[in-house]
């Protein structure tokens, strides 16, 4: 079973619950329709990794603020990359088919370490730098569905196990990447840097 690091301990998520289309500008950049309800899909434990691998030239990165769930509530925070095989996803969407082949493959949920968080969720911010250029930035205010709303909605039909992760959606700025690219993800609470993690593809 795949694990993540949380406060210097190994935690095994049973699943990763992902929120799609949660930022207006990201919906626009991919020319998607704005959903009338929360878009939710899962990645299995086998998708979890701390390495950023190259798959295909159409593989897209999506940086996300991620929440670790303990006792049915947010207990920790981390930085994540939701990797997507864009060509496969577009093909599946055109036919109205599920996204698992495009979203849930092994190594498609890339995570930093997680740290305990009990601060004000309204003050969190994400930044993704690729090759030292700021590419994506996300804040609480830009989310269509806020973190606690996500948790409440997911619990209406699916149970959380301790250690499960919620990926809260990605802001504008997604794209493909190449071997050798340098990724650096940061999570802030106000001006305090909570997490910084670097990957070389």
Domain harbouring 110, CATH code:
3.90.850.10
Check residue 167 and give its pLDDT.
98
**pLDDT of 75 above 70:** yes
**Which helix (H) or strand (E) is 87 found in, with range?**
helix 86-94
The number of domains in the chain is 1
- Measured in whole angstroms, the distance separating CA 156 from the mean position of its chain's CA atoms is 21
Q: What is the pTM of this model?
A: 0.95
Q: How confident is the model at residue 27 (pLDDT cuts 50, 70, 90)?
A: low
Q: From residue 1, how far is each of 49, 58, 144, 155 by CA, in Å? A: 11, 28, 33, 24
Q: How confident is the model at residue 34 (pLDDT cuts 50, 70, 90)?
A: low
Residue 96 burial class via C-beta count within 10 angstroms: exposed 0-12, middle 13-18, buried 19 and up: exposed
Using alpha carbons, select from 128, 138, 136 the residue that is nearest to residue 182.
Answer: 128
Identify which has the larger pLDDT, 60 or 32. 60
**Which helix (H) or strand (E) is 128 found in, with range?**
strand 124-130
Domain containing 166 equals 4-171+180-200
Which positions ≥6 away from 116 have C-beta within 8 Å? Answer: 6, 7, 75, 76
Check residue 109 and give its pLDDT.
98
Q: How confident is the model at residue 160 (pLDDT cuts 50, 70, 90)?
A: very high
Average confidence (pLDDT) over 116-139 = 97
Q: What is the per-residue pLDDT across 37-46, written as a single tens digit (0 to 9) for each? A: 889 999 999 9
């Amino acid at each position: 079973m795949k694990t993540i690091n949380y406060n210097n301990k190994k935690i095994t998520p049973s699943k990763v619950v992902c929120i799609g289309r949660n930022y207006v500008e990201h919906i626009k950049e991919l020319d998607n329709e704005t959903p009338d309800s929360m878009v939710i899909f899962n990645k299995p434990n086998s998708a979890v990794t701390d390495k950023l691998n190259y798959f295909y030239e159409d593989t897209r990165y999506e940086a996300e603020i991620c929440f670790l769930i303990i006792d049915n509530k947010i207990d920790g925070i981390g930085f994540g990359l939701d990797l997507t095989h864009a060509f496969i996803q577009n093909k599946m969407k055109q036919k109205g088919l599920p996204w698992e082949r495009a979203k849930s493959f092994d190594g498609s949920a890339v995570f930093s370490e997680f740290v305990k968080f009990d601060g004000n969720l309204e003050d969190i911010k994400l930044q993704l730098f690729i090759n030292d250029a700021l590419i994506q930035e996300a804040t609480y205010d830009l989310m269509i569905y806020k973190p606690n709303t996500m948790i409440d909605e997911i619990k209406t039909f699916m149970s959380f196990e301790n250690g499960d992760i919620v990926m809260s959606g990605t802001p504008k700025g997604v794209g493909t990447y190449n071997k050798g690219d340098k990724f650096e993800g940061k999570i802030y609470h106000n001006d305090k840097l909570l997490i910084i993690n670097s990957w070389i593809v």
